Each structure stands twice: as structure tokens, then as C-alpha cells.
Structure 1
Amino acid sequence: MPESPPAGAPPAADPDPATTVPAGPRPPAAGDLDLPGIGRIDPGAAGAGPVGVDGSTLRLALVVGGLVLAVLLGFGLGRLNPPPATPSGAAPATATHTHAPGTGTHSHDGATAAQAGGADAGGLSISSAGYTLAPSTVAFPAGRADVLRFQIRDERRRPVTRFAVVHDKPMHLIVVRRDLTGYQHLHPTMAADGTWSVPLTLPEPGVWRAYADFTAVADDGRQTAVTLGVDLAAPGGYAPRPLPAPATSTTVDGFTVGYEGTPKAGETLPVRFSIRTGNAAAPLERYLGAYGHLVALREGDLGYLHVHPDPQDEPGTVTFWMTAPGPGRYRMFLDFQVAGVVRTAAFTVTVA
């Protein structure tokens, strides 16, 4: 006969079927990410709650979920923590982000552009310099149009609503798959409550990286240039492509694009691009206030550099002063505009 509970003890409660987890593995779901050699992964593991959720919960979910996916895919996610605190009175470290002459005065977390050249690449973490990227979701259907929504929050978890216009836009959003394919350069729009939104299509399954590149304006008017990054998941069979071999010339839509110059780790050196159509220099037009924009992403951790050019010295050319933060292979993406159409030329470069 079963023993009776002690006198005065409450009876044992029946299990709550709404919270009871059934034994055995979860059956496959349509939204799972199918990784080669690994199997299915629930993309919700990398997901984040809506914009209104607690900031620490959001940050933990994104960092842990992104790390799990990155490790399973064999990529190093890089540093997940913000830069270490600096001594009193010293300027904190900053992401590499160089601007063309004539850009309005603002700080790179207190560093000059020259000082920034020796810093680590940006976009390795979801929080930096007192700002946090808070997306409404990180799961998107592969090959279908959707909308990415996010906020930038300050140290007090308040949505930031004041941004400086840098190169014609207050927010630059770069999206690329983790094998460095599918590059997109987008410009979201902001609602009054600080929520940014932009149409987004992730054309193929896999894990993608999104970079928010902006200059925030604090209550005291101080401007801080920051690049934050977060992983996005598109469910389906992920077949990563190998990085193309290094080359100094490529073609895109009938234009021949080449470059001269060899980036080196820790050194600021010129990289000069030429764009030609046939035997003639291409009639480059200003795009976002310059004749070209260059984004470089490091293979592996996907460290981010956004480099802007010198004034055009001759038709069809554009020169960038680039500082690679460390050795490795990089994928360079050059945006240029001719006849109102923006095109992107991509190159693989090895930095020693």
C-alpha cells in the first residue's frame, strides 16, 4: 500500500500537459536548418524575441545561438564580447571605418581614422561602445521576401533615435552569407520609435551575417561611429561555396574592374581600382556621396571593414586607403555606379 503523505502536506500536483516535455527527440520541422554532415538544427536556437524583450535575454539568445551555429559550420565567430575597458581618460578601441574627405566631424569611439587603422575589424559582436543591435527576429525563409526590423539601443536599453547622416544615409546595412556569397548593401528606414526596417531576401539557405554600420548621436551631441553584427538563419540545406582564388581583375555586367596595391596587416596602404567599359574609362557617378564604396570581410570570423575613397584623381578610377587588421584571406566588395545603376565587383585578396 502506498505511503500517505505527512499530515498537513499538500497533495502532489498532476503534471501540467502544457509544460511537460515528451520523451524522445523532437520530430523534424519544416523550419529546421539542414547542415551537411550534422543534420537538422532548429533555427529558433539562434532566434531572438521581439524588439520589446529584455535586452540581456535578447543578447544572450543571439550570442549563444550564433555561436552554436558558427561552431557547427566550422567557422570562428570571433570575439563575442565588447572591447575591454580602457584606462581612465583613454579613448576606447574602435572598428575600422574610414571616411572620404569632407565628411562631417564625428568620433570613432574617440579615435581618429589613423588610429582606427590599427584596431580590430568591426561587426564581431552584437554590442560595442555602449550600443546594442536588437533585431525582432533572426530567422528568415530562404528565397522569399521578408522584412528585417531592428533597433539600436544605448547603455540604458533605450532605443536610439538620433543618427548622423554619413555618406548620404543614417544607416548602412551589409548582409552576406557566411561563405561570403550573396553580398547586399541596404539602407533601412527608421520609424519614430527607433525601429529600423528594410525589405530583405536571403536567396539561399544557410547562416548569414548582418552588419549595422551607423554613427549614433548621444544626448550630449557626441557622435560615435559603430559597426554591430548579428547572425541570421535561412532554413534548408546549406552547401557552402569555397572562396574564389585571389585575382586582381574581374568583370561585372560588361565592365572590367581591376585593382593595384597589396593590403598588409597593420599598415595603411593605397588600393587603386580602375573600371573600364571596352577600352574607355567608365563614366563613374557619385553613389552615396562618393565614386565608390569598399567593404572588406575577413574569411572565418567575418571581421568587417568599410573603407571610403579619396576624391577621384582621373576618370574611371577610385583609390582607397585600406588597413587590414590582421593576416588572412579577405573578400573585397566594390560598389560603383554608372548610368544610375549600382554594381558590385568582388575580389579575394590574401593579406600577409
Structure 2
Amino acid sequence: MEQHQHSHSDGIYTCPMHPEETGKKGDKCPKCGMDLVPVSDENASKVEVKLHTEPQTIEAGTSAKLTFAFQENNKHVPLDISHEMKVHLMIVDENLSWFRHIHPEEQADGSYTIAETFPNGGKYILFSDFKPQGAASVVDKKEIIVKGSSDSKADFSTKLVSVVDGYTVTLENGKDLKTNRSQALEISVVKDGKKLTESDIQPYLAATAHIAMVSKENKDFLHIHPISDDRFPIYAETHIKKTGTYRIWVEFQTNGKVHTADFTVDVAEGEKNAHDDGHHGHHEH
């Protein structure tokens, strides 16, 4: 599992062999078992993310060009490929009713661009997930305002079953998510009465699936990649730091088509356990 951190280096530990694996003091690398070491100021990413939109004022229903520059000292920073792409851009609207996971393309000048059409007016939050060469992965958060009317409605009632393209996708343990512990996301998939196994799902961007979680309150963000499990075709482990309501999007691929299931969960306060105080999942942003 990949683990994503802010660019801020305080309290971040990383694996000497696998710098993309990050956590807290006392954690071990999930890939090789080595103790994580503090990220030095020299190794910490100081990348500044700049966003330019064209047109400057974006109108709902009209295509807009988004240009991202990942820079240090006003120079473009080279990025590593992570899960087949250099930049994963995830966009949600303020009501968390609309979600996109897209990939800006690298340009000759070192910037990354993509076109997107926003369906409604209002505020949108853009999370760009990238990995500067030789440094840990970073997630940057930006907000933009789109002009136009909005018929987008906020619905944060609990939703643990999502039907998409004939697939019934269920977050089986969605009522038991808590903070202060490492925990699983157990997701079943049924099609035409048949329970799918992991072998029925095609890899998508070098993972069984991609999972994004965004909190209702502060728009905290987790990007999670599942690991294999015999019981569930989509199974991941994470560590949720804050209580509250979260929207979850699960992208998985079958027969060359990507399907996006969505859930809404309430995360309760878990008991603080000194034994499980380490970082086992993905940091929030």
C-alpha cells in the first residue's frame, strides 16, 4: 500500500529503501520491514503547486483548461511515475456529490494540463497527488469557484450499498469504522447473483482498485490502494484520524471499463490503544 503525506516534514518518517513508504516514529516499512527514519529537511519536499485556469473565470457546463506547475525555486520539479501516472488529480464539489479522478498530461515546458467541464456552479476542491523524484508522495489541496447555478444537493445519509453498471458493491463493515486504530475496508462486489473474487477484477492503474475518502467537515483527503485478500475482491487497510462523516469513492475495472461506486459513512471515536498508536494507513490531507 502506498502512503501519502503532506509536504510538511515535521514528524514524518520514511523508509531508506522505499522513500514512498512513510509513517510515524516506530513504524516499519510494509515492503521490506526496515525501521522508518526521520525525513531530513534536505529530503523533504518543498514543492510549490501553482494552478492556472483558462478561462480565469470558469463557467459551469463549459470546458476549462487546468494547468498545474510543480515548482521549487520557480523551476519545474521532475516527478516520478506512481501507479502508472505522474499526477493523479481528484476533484470533488463542495457537497461531495460529484467526483472525478483524472490525470493531467505533461507538457514540453514541464507543466501538466487537462480539460474538465464542471457540471454546476459553486466551490470545487482539487487534490493533486504526485511524487517528486527521490521524495515522498505529496497531496496538494486547491479550491476553485465555478460560476453558474447549482442543482447539486448535499446528501450525507449513510450509504453502504452502491449499484453501478449492474454491479452491487457493498462496504460490508461500513458501520464499524472508528478512529485511533488500523482497520479494514471490506468491499464485496456482486454481478448477476455471483460474488466476484479479486481475479474477476482487472488491475486499474497498477492497483486492484483506487479508493478516495473525503470528510464532510474539513474536506480531509485519503487516497488508498487496496491489498489482496481471499475474502473480498476489494480490501484495503487505513487509519482514519478524525471522526465525522466521509464520502468514499471506489474505482474498479472489469472488461476494460472503470466503474465508480460511492458510499457515505460515519466514523466514530475509537478507544485509544497504545499498542495500535502507529501509522498503518494513509495520512489525511
Alpha carbons 1:177, 1:183 under 8 Å: kept: yes
- Could you tell me which amino acid in structure 2 is paired with residue 142 of structure 1? A
| 1:146 shift after superposition | 2.2
Show CA shifts across 1:162-184 (max 9, x none): 21211111110001101102100
- Alignment partners' CA distance in 1, 2:140 and 2:22: 13
- Counterpart in the other structure of 1:280: 194
TM-score (norm 1): 0.62
User: As a proportion of its length, which structure holds more helix?
Assistant: 1
- Does the residue aligned with 2:180 lie in a helix, a strand or coil? coil
- Counterpart in the other structure of 1:149: 67
- Alignment match of 1:173 (pick from 62, 73, 89): 89
Show CA shifts across 1:263-284 (max 9, x none): 2113110111111112113431
Distance 1:326 1:109, change over 3 A: same
| 1:237 shift after superposition | 2.6
- Counterpart in the other structure of 1:191: 107
Once the two structures are aligned, what percentage of the paired residues are identical?
24
- Alignment match of 2:185 (pick from 259, 268, 271): 271
- Alignment partners' CA distance in 2, 1:232 and 1:150: 13
TM-score (norm 2): 0.76
Alpha carbons 1:309, 1:318 under 8 Å: kept: yes
Distance 1:290 1:112, change over 3 A: farther
- Does the residue aligned with 1:216 lie in a helix, a strand or coil? coil
Show CA shifts across 1:323-346 (max 9, x none): 112101000100011111111111
The runs of 4+ residues in structure 1 deviating greater than 6 Å are none
- Alignment match of 1:329 (pick from 219, 237, 245): 245
| 1:108 shift after superposition | 5.4
User: As a proportion of its length, which structure holds more strand?
Assistant: 2
- Could you tell me which amino acid in structure 1 is paired with residue 76 of structure 2? P
Alpha carbons 1:164, 1:223 under 8 Å: kept: no
Alignment of structure 1 residues 74-89 onto 2, 5 Å: 83=8, 86=10
Aligned residues: 240
- Counterpart in the other structure of 2:148: 236
- Could you tell me which amino acid in structure 1 is paired with residue 64 of structure 2? D
1:249 aligns with 2:165: no
- Alignment partners' CA distance in 1, 2:203 and 2:226: 11
- Counterpart in the other structure of 1:258: 170
1:289 aligns with 2:202: no
Alpha carbons 1:109, 1:129 under 8 Å: kept: no
- Alignment partners' CA distance in 1, 2:88 and 2:262: 18
- Does the residue aligned with 2:58 lie in a helix, a strand or coil? coil
Gaps of 5+ in 2: 1-5, 30-43, 269-285
- Alignment match of 2:19 (pick from 106, 109, 114): 106
Distance 1:113 1:322, change over 3 A: farther
- Does the residue aligned with 2:201 lie in a helix, a strand or coil? coil
- Does the residue aligned with 1:204 lie in a helix, a strand or coil? coil
Distance 1:135 1:112, change over 3 A: farther
- Alignment match of 2:230 (pick from 297, 302, 313): 313
- Alignment match of 1:215 (pick from 131, 137, 140): 131
Show CA shifts across 1:72-101 (max 9, x none): xxxxxxxxx975x74xxxx4489xxxxxxx
- Alignment partners' CA distance in 2, 1:113 and 1:312: 26
| 1:107 shift after superposition | 3.4
- Could you tell me which amino acid in structure 2 is paired with residue 241 of structure 1? K
